[in-house]
């Protein structure tokens, strides 16, 4: 992966301590966090989340990435490959894009770059993506990226039913070309 992943419009890179303010802003927005299992996070909870992101990298050599809009360098979200506590068997590809940047195909573009990284860079044979039934926007992104519903799991901590979607490396490579942005490159 080098310094990160790039697409035609995005740069995905490792988190830095100075990213905390953007993370706090996103995670304190109840509309943006509507489908994340918690309406909003305190600054301390966001600090703990950033520490988890960094620790995942230290423990596994991969994880969530900060997503920047390439032209301006604006931090607009997060995406990446990480293990989800409710599904530890396969790494999860996930995304969160700040509200002003939504509905532009950026979650799909970031997700596609992360799936390629998971398969081509990290050597995984299957990845999952997890959401609530009500998260229609993420479900549409998953469909565009070739994921299919794999199974449901109950999250006892959050009291939510989660849908686990999966795509194999073979299915990803054999799917019809989709509108997922330009191919990513290691930066």
- What local confidence, expressed as pLDDT, does residue 187 receive? 38
- What local confidence, expressed as pLDDT, does residue 167 receive? 96
Q: Is 36 helix (H, G, I), strand (E, B) or coil?
A: coil
User: Rounded to whole angstroms, how far apart are CA atoms 40 and 36?
Assistant: 9
Q: What b/e sequence results for 47-73 when a residue is b if at least 16 CB atoms lie within 10 Å of its CB, and e otherwise?
A: eebbeebbebbeeeebbbbbbbbeeee
CA dist list (Å): 52 to 9, 59, 60, 83, 125:
27, 10, 12, 11, 25
Kind plus residue range of the DSSP H or E element containing 54: helix 43-60
> In a structure prediction context, what are the per-residue pLDDT tens digits for the chain, which is 187 residues long?
666 899 999 999 999 989 999 988 887 766 665 656 566 778 898 899 899 999 999 999 999 999 999 999 999 999 999 998 878 889 999 999 998 999 999 999 999 999 999 999 999 999 999 998 888 999 999 999 999 999 898 888 778 888 999 999 999 988 876 444 444 444 3
**Please, what are the domains in the chain?**
4-176 (3.40.630.30)
- What local confidence, expressed as pLDDT, does residue 175 receive? 82
Q: Structure tokens of 27? A: 């995670």
């Amino acid at each position: 992966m080098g310094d990160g992943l790039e697409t035609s419009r995005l740069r995905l890179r490792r988190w830095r301590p100075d990213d905390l303010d953007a993370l706090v802003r996103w995670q304190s927005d109840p509309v943006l966090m509507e489908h994340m299992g918690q309406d909003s996070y305190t600054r301390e909870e966001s600090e703990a989340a950033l520490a988890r992101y960094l620790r995942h990298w230290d423990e596994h050599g991969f994880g969530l990435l900060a997503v920047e809009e390439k032209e301006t360098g604006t931090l607009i979200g997060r995406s990446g490959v990480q293990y989800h506590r409710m599904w530890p068997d396969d790494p999860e590809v996930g995304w969160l894009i700040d509200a002003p940047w939504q509905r532009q195909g950026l979650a799909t573009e970031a997700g596609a770059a992360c799936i390629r990284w998971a398969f081509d860079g990290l050597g995984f044979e299957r990845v999952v993506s997890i959401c609530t039934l009500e998260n229609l926007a993420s479900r549409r992104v998953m469909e565009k990226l070739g994921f299919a519903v794999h199974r449901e799991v109950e999250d006892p901590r959050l009291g939510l039913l989660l849908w686990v979607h999966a795509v194999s490396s073979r299915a990803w490579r054999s799917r019809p070309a989709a509108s997922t942005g330009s191919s990513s490159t290691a930066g």
